[in-house]
Structure 1
Amino acid sequence: MEGNKNDIQWLDAEEQKSWRALLQGISKFLAAANADLQQQEDLSLSEYEVLAYLSEAPGRQLRMSQLAQNLVHSRSRLTHTVHRLEKQEYVQRLQCADDKRGRNCILTEKGWQKIQSAAPVHVGSVRKYLIDSLTRKEFLELGRIFAQIMPDEKE
């Protein structure tokens, strides 16, 4: 950290209120979306995200390191999530053909069926708890703002 504590520009009352509303809103949204997936599909939001990324990838597979980067998860957290998905036979991990040190995560046919079943639940939650609370313009602006705040390293 640069500077010292005395150099900090503290949040004013409006900024503090907005910051806390943001944290609470994100937490409540994630909890509600996760609960819907758990109740209707016996799948966590983290598990759903893994299946979704794999379903969109060429050959329905990604290197574990790429999957971790896409999900913004630590490798250890991703490993635990993928292990749970392997037990359910939704994914399998195989050694990379071109690099023996790496592992690919592959969506199985059972995993493909699961993501097709779970996707309407997830999209319904996103609409119910987020999109329907905003105008289209506000929602698109929200995405633009977050892209500006936390730009993708690849860009």
Structure 2
Amino acid sequence: MAARDEHPADLPRCPSGGSGLLPDELRAWMLLLAATGAVEQRLRSVVKETLDVSHDEFLILCLLAEQPGEGLRMTRIAELLGRPKTRLTYQIACLQRPGLITRRSVCGDKRGVEVVLTDKARQLLREASALLASAVKEALAEFIGPAQRDAVAGLLPGLAQGPC
């Protein structure tokens, strides 16, 4: 339990002032990656327990959920997630087996394949969304501390003020 008592947001601060080999922007980016990686790791277990899919499959479902009544081409999903198309083909097959997505040919493009969320998946996401959102909020509160906020502010000056 002692590990839970430590606040992961209190991880070593990213040194500033150019004292190391990396520029401040890259050090800030690495600090943010570490924090978001910790949040993602926490979410992995909740996604697996709640939806019985992998985190990468969950990301595909989320992308499709933002396309009401439409689908996405597999090539576009691969681009958005930064995943190889071969890996995506496997993940799509894993989602198709339990009836969470369907594949269809793209009209006018015999090589194009579009992926669409099923009603079953939409219902599953609706039922799990509050729990998943809560897990994200809790993980963000745990892993995003002053150092990470400072890193974002340093990378995106004027963020707090909003768009001009």
- TM over 0.5: same fold? yes
State the percentage of identical aligned residues: 26
Equivalent position to 1:75, from 79, 85, 92: 85
Q: Is the 8 A contact 1:65 1:75 kept in 2?
A: yes
Aligned residue type for 2:111: R
Aligned to 1:60: 70
Shift of 1:131: 4.6
Unaligned runs of 5+ in 1: 1-9, 147-155
1:25 maps to amino acid:
A
Deviation of 1:78 after TM superposition, in Å, equals 1.4
- Which one has a larger percent helix, Structure 1 or Structure 2? 1
Q: What letter corresponds to residue 125 of structure 2 in structure 1?
A: I
Distance in structure 2 (CA, Å) of the matches to 1:144 and 1:42: 38
Residue of structure 2 in register with 1:35 after alignment: 45
Q: Determine if the alignment matches structure 1 residue 129 to structure 2 residue 143.
A: no
User: Which structure ranks higher in relative contact order (CA pairs < 8 Å, sequence separation ≥ 6)?
Assistant: 2
Rounded Cα–Cα distance in structure 1 between residues aligned with 2:153 and 2:108: 36
Aligned to 2:59: 49
Q: Calculate the TM-score normalised by the size of structure 1.
A: 0.69
Question: Does 2:119 correspond to 1:97?
Answer: no
- Tell me the SS of whatever aligns to 1:103: strand
**Which whole-Å CA distance do the structure 2 matches of 1:144 and 1:17 have between them?**
10
Mapped to 1, the partners of 2:53 and 2:111 lie a distance apart of 30
2:152 and 2:112 map into 1 onto residues whose CA distance is 36
Q: Structure 2 length as normaliser, TM-score?
A: 0.66
Q: How many residues align?
A: 135
Structure 2: segments with no counterpart, 5+ residues:
1-19, 157-164
